A and B are shown apart, each in its own frame.
Chain A
Amino acid sequence: MPLPLVIWAVSAAVGAIVGARAVATAQRNTYRLAVLGMGMSGKTTLINSWRGEWVDGDPGRTNAPLVYEKVKLTANGRQLIFKRLVDVSGQQSAWPVWEDRVNESRHVLYLLKATHLLAPAEHRPAVAAQAWHRIEDDAGQIRLWLDEGRASLCVLVVTHRDLDPRFADLGEDAYEHLVCDQLDPIVMKLGGDRRVRIVTGSLVDPDAAAAVTDKIMQHIAAEER
């Protein structure tokens, strides 16, 4: 066999292998996420942190959805791509938009504020009760969409942990246990431990948001394995 032909064949084979591996890696690191949650739960802040567009203070309310076709970020040392990320309104009347998101996504993040988990005595009773009912309603609805759609995992992301006085008292591990116990009825409503994971954190600054993202992606990566 002539030498140039051998060189050509070897380089073609190496190129094919490298190309196939690059495609496989890109596919492995590409995610379709639905980011849901009540108003002011931190959806926009979390998405902005992924986009590297941190806004000091409150970004305000999301009325019409914002679509980001491709968001590149690094979490747990991995380069990730979030495809067709949509920042949606947290209103209950936006459920049809949420449903579309769940149907188009493989993983669902449901954000809720830690202060909504405070016992009525520690918080404004009416607000806590109202928020809890809303979380229950959302969970019931998301369960239906999960059953119908192709999303395989729902991550409950408890945000604003820094505003929950119990966090300072208990420390991280005990606080997470407490929150997991509190969210047990919601987890059951969403389909049980097999389908639901819980993450707690804060979105007070970009580092805190990155830590929340790392935890979320650990669960998603573990589920994919």
Chain B
Amino acid sequence: MVEQARLRIVYTEFGEHRPPVIWHNGKFLSENDLDARAAVHRLFASVVSKARRDVMMSYGRAVRVGPMTSAGTLLLVETSLSPVVADGAPSKVTVVVTLTNAEPGWGASCATHATELLASQGVASGASHLQHALEKGWHATAPSRCRTALRICAAIHAVLLNGRRRLREAMGLR
């Protein structure tokens, strides 16, 4: 069976006295594993710089990259964990998922998985809130039909223009 949605990263920062909880590709990163932690920040920066859509919504922030050929579409969602307060600051959780096909239920399964991971580190979070954030984020970052249509028209125009130029060159006309 083809995997539709896969949780890649769960990341949350606390106050000054506790290092961030980072779960990346199936394991929690230790506090001393600075290289792996740095790789996560690099990935965040890469996602944000390549973003096709980076939107703020009522549930937080959503960034979409792709679709990429093999890994599918990458979705980064950042949402607040309102019950958790560290050093007076509300914590946020950042979740990165890859999707090959957004079938019904993908949001619930990723949110449940992320909530369980956070709970194992003593971080309380609501699965339904996270699920809504993921699903709303996916819809909010969907490429608009109008933009896609314009892109297709531009591509057709470029191909026709190129073809006309080549034809004229072949005929010796300038």
Contact = CB atoms under 8 A, between A and B. Distances in A.
A91 B13 contact: yes
B68 interface: no
Contact of A64 (B15, B20, B91, B94): B94
Top-9 shortest CB links A-B: A93-B37, A64-B44, A63-B94, A61-B13, A94-B41, A58-B89, A97-B45, A93-B38, A60-B90
25 contacts: A38-B16, A40-B15, A40-B87, A60-B91, A60-B92, A61-B91, A63-B13, A63-B44, A63-B92, A63-B93, A64-B44, A64-B47, A64-B63, A64-B76, A65-B44, A67-B48, A91-B20, A92-B34, A93-B34, A96-B38, A96-B41, A96-B45, A97-B44, A127-B17, A130-B16
A65 B76 CA distance: 11
Interface of A: 38-40, 58, 60-61, 63-67, 89, 91-97, 100, 127, 130-131
Contacts of A130: 16
B89 A91 contact: no
A97 B42 contact: yes
Tell me the dominant secondary structure on chain B's binding face.
mixed
Q: Which of A61, A65, A131 has the largest number of chain B CB atoms within 10 A?
A: A61
Interface in B2-33: 11-13, 15-17, 20
Given A40-B15, A64-B76, A93 B91 contact: no
B29 to A, nearest CB: 9
A131 B89 contact: no
Contacts of A61: 13, 89, 91-92
Contacts of B87: 40
B80 interface: yes
A73 B157 CA distance: 40
Q: Which of A38, A63, A67, A91 has the largest number of chain B CB atoms within 10 A?
A: A63
A66 B16 contact: no
A205 to B, nearest CB: 17
Nearest to B42: A96
Contacts of A38: 16
Interface string B130-168: 000000000000000000000000000000000000000
Nearest to A38: B16
B23 to A, nearest CB: 13
Contacts of B16: 38-40, 127, 130-131
Contacts of B128: none
A87 to B, nearest CB: 10
Interface string B65-88: 000000000001010100000011
Given A60-B89, A60-B90, A65 B48 contact: yes
A94 B12 CA distance: 14
Contacts of B15: 40
Contacts of A93: 20, 34, 37-38, 40-41
A95 B44 CA distance: 13
